[in-house]
């Protein structure tokens, strides 16, 4: 089994990319697997297949085979917050305490991903956990090669998407959102992912979300070439519409469950008119160097 890690900043389109890529022959999409313990086991949300997480035929069997102890569940449930609090750490210079913590995570992840491989029988596991520090944990697993699909979206579109979630009353964005902080985080995370990809250039592909929705067949060909799998057969209805089967994602964007049946891949350009000029200027001012570098590399 190979692991395809879909990485990027928040609200950058990784859910849609994950759901489409997971339809490729031999690929299986698990969504944001880093939330398995705190959200999956802790909250028992609805899986993309329609069952609750703990009653899903796939995830219930994964848990039975991996058999995490209560102590391991507690440790891993705290992992997203721990990695978020440590997001300023340089993953190339981990201190001894953080490195030991990563080793503890990796031991549990080994059992989990072994169970996923056994239950699904997939050639490629698509993991949309997004963040660089979780990727660092996965790269400590020697059993499976890890490939990175780095998704970059226009930071102004990301800012508008985050504001829309805030305005809809999402509790996290309502209390935590800041344009300046979001723009700096967009820069920091994308730069870090690009640097990590530079260490393993044969297992790294960076795509721009805008290119993905405009030229999906071209991008999927690039993914298939990197993974050595090809892209056929695939469920394209036409050049811009695709037929998606349900997948077993249980965490992440609320749109994860709505991406099924025939959907049109199109860019959401609402931010052009609805995001104020001052916000657009602020975002561009703080991200301009990274935007240019990410387009040129």
What pLDDT, on the 0 to 100 scale, is given for residue 282?
A: 92
Q: How far apart are the first and last CA of the chain?
A: 29
Collect all residues with Cβ–Cβ distance below 8 Å to 259 and sequence separation of at least 6: 15, 16, 19, 20, 244
User: At 183, which helix (H) or strand (E)?
Assistant: helix 179-199
The residue whose two tokens read 């660089």 is 132
CATH code assigned to 2-155+203-270: 3.40.50
Q: Regarding beta strands 146-152 and 124-130, do their DSSP bridges make them parallel or antiparallel, or are they unpaired?
A: unpaired
Say how far apart CA 261 and CA 158 lie, in whole Å: 26
* φ/ψ of residue 171, rounded to 5: -60, -35
Report percent pLDDT > 70 for the chain. Answer: 86
**In the predicted model, what is the mean pLDDT of the chain?**
86
Say how far apart CA 286 and CA 183 lie, in whole Å: 6
pLDDT by residue (tens digit) across 229-238?
Answer: 876 656 777 7
pLDDT by residue (tens digit) across 19-50?
Answer: 999 999 999 999 999 999 999 999 999 999 99
Which has more confidence, 212 or 92?
212
Residue spans of the domains in the chain: they are 2-155+203-270
Which has more confidence, 167 or 294?
294
What pLDDT, on the 0 to 100 scale, is given for residue 173?
A: 46
The residue whose two tokens read 């999402």 is 170
């Amino acid at each position: 089994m190979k692991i395809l890690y879909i990485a990027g900043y928040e609200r950058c389109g990784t859910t849609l990319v994950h759901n489409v890529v997971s339809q490729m022959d031999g690929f299986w999409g698990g969504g944001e697997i880093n939330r398995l313990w705190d959200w999956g086991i802790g909250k028992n949300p609805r899986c993309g297949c329609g069952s609750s997480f703990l009653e899903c035929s796939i995830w219930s069997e994964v848990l039975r085979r991996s058999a995490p102890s209560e102590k391991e569940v507690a440790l891993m449930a705290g992992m997203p917050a721990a990695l978020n609090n440590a997001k300023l750490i340089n993953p190339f210079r981990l201190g001894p305490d953080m490195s030991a913590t990563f080793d503890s995570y990796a031991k549990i992840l080994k059992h989990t991903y072994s169970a996923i491989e056994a239950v699904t029988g997939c050639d490629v596991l698509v993991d949309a956990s997004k963040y660089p520090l979780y990727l660092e944990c996965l790269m400590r697993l020697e059993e499976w090669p890890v490939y990175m699909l780095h998704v970059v979206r226009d930071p102004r579109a990301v800012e508008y998407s985050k504001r829309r979630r805030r305005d809809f009353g999402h509790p996290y964005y309502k209390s935590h959102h800041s344009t300046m902080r979001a723009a700096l985080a967009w820069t920091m995370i994308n730069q870090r992912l690009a640097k990590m990809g530079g260490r393993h250039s044969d297992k790294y592909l960076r795509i721009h979300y805008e290119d993905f929705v405009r030229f999906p067949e071209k991008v999927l060909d690039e993914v298939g070439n990197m993974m050595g799998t090809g892209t056929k057969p695939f469920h394209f209805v036409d050049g811009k519409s695709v037929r998606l089967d349900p997948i077993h994602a249980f965490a992440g964007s609320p749109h994860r469950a709505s991406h099924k049946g025939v959907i049109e891949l199109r860019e959401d350009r609402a931010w052009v008119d609805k995001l104020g000029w001052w916000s657009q200027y602020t975002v561009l001012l703080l991200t301009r160097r990274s935007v240019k570098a990410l387009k040129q590399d």
